[in-house]
């Protein structure tokens, strides 16, 4: 015969076990919902910002590939300015498709740009083919990704801007602002003699190469005096991504 107190204890155990099981199921369900929400937020974020990629060219006011004596001769007297140019081939930044957007920046500092502590200023032009939304998104992307390289941005405007990439030659022109014409070094010497590459691009690049500057010109503006370079290994080119 089952005593009452034993029956009561068994009943209480079953009841408490049921509560514990419901608690476990509740926690599992809550974690599942949170994981689902997190996945939704991640997918949404990825959709708003999806791999902006394209061509990039940079020209410095110093040879980036040269003998040691040439490099040392320019280190403290040159290399304080650079032209940077982007041509977006694909990608979305914060919900805005940037395909086809082009931009050029002129950067100037009081010391060689190889000095990461050198205070620098930048002037930016965005191609007039970009919409207002694309211009804002492109500027935001450049500021977000390359703030240290650009420094203080003193001027932003839109205007005619062309960017041509044919084989291993690049040509960039921003009316009344700047122009760049470069080509590949013979036999990719920068890859065969990497010890003569003294600088790094201001932008991380895939398949980075040193280019021969046929002509580079800045007409002057908010960040520095006009300058012109030609006939030297003072350029970088490759693919950028952010």
Q: What is the pLDDT of residues 71-80, one digit of tens each?
A: 999 999 999 9
With beta carbons less than 8 A apart as the criterion, state whether 61 and 234 touch: yes
pTM of the complete model? 0.80
Average pLDDT, the chain: 86
How far is residue 140's CA from residue 94's CA, in Å, rounded to a whole number? 9
Do 28 and 161 contact (CB within 8 A), yes or no? no
- Cα–chain-centroid distance for residue 57? 13
CA–CA separation, 96 and 77 (whole Å) = 42
Band of residue 4 on the pLDDT scale cut at 50, 70, 90: very low
**Cα four-point dihedral sign 131, 136, 137, 138:** positive
Average pLDDT score over residue span 63-67 = 96
Q: What mean pLDDT is predicted for residues 2-26?
A: 50
Task: Please check whether residue 53 is in contact with residue 90, taking contact to mean a CB–CB distance below 8 angstroms.
Answer: yes
The whole-number average pLDDT for the span 172-177 is 92
Mean pLDDT of 7-30: 51
Segment 162-172 mean pLDDT = 96
**What mean pLDDT is predicted for residues 87-104?**
98
pLDDT at 1: 47
Beta bridge partners of 56: 86, 238
Instruction: For residue 38, name the pLDDT band (cuts at 50, 70, 90).
Output: very low
pLDDT exceeding 70 applies to what percent of the chain? 79
CA-based nearest residue to 235, from 60, 101, 3, 33: 60
pLDDT at residue 43 above 60?
no
Q: Is the pLDDT of residue 225 over 70?
A: yes
pLDDT, residue 7, reads: 42
């Amino acid at each position: 015969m089952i005593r009452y107190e034993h029956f009561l204890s068994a009943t209480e155990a079953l009841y408490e076990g049921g509560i514990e099981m419901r608690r476990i199921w509740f926690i599992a369900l809550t974690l599942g919902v949170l994981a689902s929400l997190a996945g939704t937020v991640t997918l949404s974020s990825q959709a708003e910002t999806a791999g902006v990629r394209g061509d990039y060219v940079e020209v410095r006011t110093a040879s980036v590939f040269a003998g040691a004596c040439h490099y040392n001769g320019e280190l403290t007297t040159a290399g304080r300015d650079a032209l940077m140019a982007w041509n977006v081939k694909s990608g979305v930044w914060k919900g805005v498709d940037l395909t086809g957007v082009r931009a050029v920046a002129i950067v100037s500092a009081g010391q060689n740009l190889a000095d990461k502590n050198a205070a620098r200023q930048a002037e930016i032009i965005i191609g007039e083919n970009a919409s207002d939304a694309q211009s804002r998104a492109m500027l935001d992307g450049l500021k977000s990704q390359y703030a240290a390289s650009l420094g203080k941005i003193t001027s932003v405007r839109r205007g005619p801007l062309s960017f041509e990439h044919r084989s291993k030659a690049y040509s960039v022109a921003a009316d009344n602002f700047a122009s760049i014409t470069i080509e590949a070094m013979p036999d990719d010497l920068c890859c065969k003699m990497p010890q003569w590459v003294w600088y790094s691009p201001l932008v991380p690049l895939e398949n980075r190469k040193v280019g021969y500057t046929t002509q580079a010109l800045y007409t002057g503006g908010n960040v520095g005096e006009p300058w012109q370079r030609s006939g030297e290994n003072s350029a970088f080119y490759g693919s950028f991504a952010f």
